[in-house]
Amino acid sequence: MRSGGCLRFFIAIALALIHPAGITADDRGDDDYEALQVVEPADEENWADPVGDLKDKLAGLMAHCTDETELQNTQDRLGAILRRKLAPLEWTCELTETQRKRLHLAGRGDVQRLVNRITVLHARGATLPKLITDETFCKLNDEADELQSLLDAGPFGDDSLLSKALQHTLTADQFARFEEVSQFEHREDWQVVAAADAPGIPGLRVSTDSLHDETLKLLLKFTFLRRLTLGGSEVCDDDLDHLQELTRLEFLDLSRSSVTDDGLWRLRFLTSLRILRLDNTLVSGEGFRHLQLLPNLEELSVVESSVMDDGLVHLPGLKKLQSVNLHNTLITDAGLAHLSSLPLLKRVNLENTDLTDSGLRHLRTIKTLELLDCSETNITPSGIAMLNRWRPGLIVNR
């Protein structure tokens, strides 16, 4: 029959295709045999699921925007990054209140825009089919990585609302100052600081061994600087000559430097100075006579130095002095007599000195005194009780 003949004809053709002429199954090589094997699927637990992994990544991003605690933590962290970003502006540009509000508003807008982008991307990922093209996968994965990077470092780059606001809010002079300071964001030896112990006086902390060459050239640009911390044992008296142009300085920290009494004369041009830190330096107090040329000095700290009684004789000339830190110095009871003439003195730290009860009588006449630290001294409880009778409102740490 035709139908049977046709069937036999197609079977013959199929066999010829499977077993070409002159080649039998026994004649096949190992490679040909392996090519015919069926590939078994991998174990289910080891089966790669890139789309599922991508969805998990997007869900992790979304947690920063939906979970109430995570959202608050994210906003707080990005807010801190924004404040650090704007900190240099506070002392380089002297922002007006209107400028300050406008820049912070732009920064908060960048944070909200980031949250919105994460929400949109997560929604797209939630509807993905199990199989997608490589192009789609790479695009979504790259965008997820970008958003994670912005979450970590802050969404305040060149294309941000903050960046645009800076260009439109600052004057030409302000923007030039800001660009100069911004170059220090990634330098390990320069750091913009706004420490809690000097609120309202942000500035620079420079960790360097001297003020020469490149460091000096950079520093002298900032005649508007209000706060400067210099760390480095090689910073010496001669280096202080280079600070004469920084006449707007209000806070200067020379702790752990090699500055001596002679170096204090070189600070005479810093007439705006309010806070001076000389902790762990070579100052003995003899150079305090030069500090009388600093009419606005309010706080003096000489912790762990070799300051002695003779040096304190020059302090009464500092009529605005409110705080003196003599922790771990060489002063004795006699030296406290020189503090009694300070009309605005509020805080005195005498910790770890050789003071006794007899020295406390010099403090009884300081009516402005609010806080006294005399821990690790030879002062007794009876001496403290006597002082409390003289000055009932005084806070004493012992």
Question: Across the chain, what does the average pLDDT equal?
Answer: 83
pLDDT at residue 61 tops 90: no
Give the pLDDT score at 90. 72
Residues 311-324 pLDDT 10s: 999 999 999 999 99
pLDDT tier at 196, thresholds 50, 70, 90: very low
Write the DSSP assignment of 313-359 as a string of letters. TTGGG-TT--EEE-TT----GGGGGGGTT-TT--EEE-TTS---GGG
Q: Quick one: 286 exposed, middle or buried, by C-beta within 10 A (0-12, 13-18, 19+)?
A: middle
Give the pLDDT score at 35. 44
Q: Are 350 and 372 in contact (CB under 8 A)?
A: yes
Tell me what the mean pLDDT of segment 235-262 comes to.
91
Element housing 371 (H / E):
strand 371-373
> Cα separation of 285 and 289, whole Å?
8
The DSSP letter of residue 299 is E
pLDDT at residue 143 tops 50: yes
Give the pLDDT score at 2. 44
All structural domains of the chain: 49-171 (no CATH), 173-397 (3.80.10.10)
pLDDT at residue 213 tops 80: no
Q: What is the residue whose two structure tokens read 């606001």?
A: 165
322: tokens are 């409110």
Tell me what the mean pLDDT of segment 283-303 comes to.
96
Give the pLDDT score at 66. 80
Give the pLDDT score at 194. 53
Tell me what the mean pLDDT of segment 360-388 comes to.
93
What percent of the chain shows pLDDT beyond 70? 79
pLDDT tier at 34, thresholds 50, 70, 90: very low
Residues 323-356 pLDDT 10s: 999 999 999 999 999 999 999 999 999 999 999 9
pLDDT at residue 13 tops 60: no
Residues 98-126 pLDDT 10s: 999 999 999 999 999 999 999 999 888 88
Q: Please tell me the pTM assigned to this model.
A: 0.65
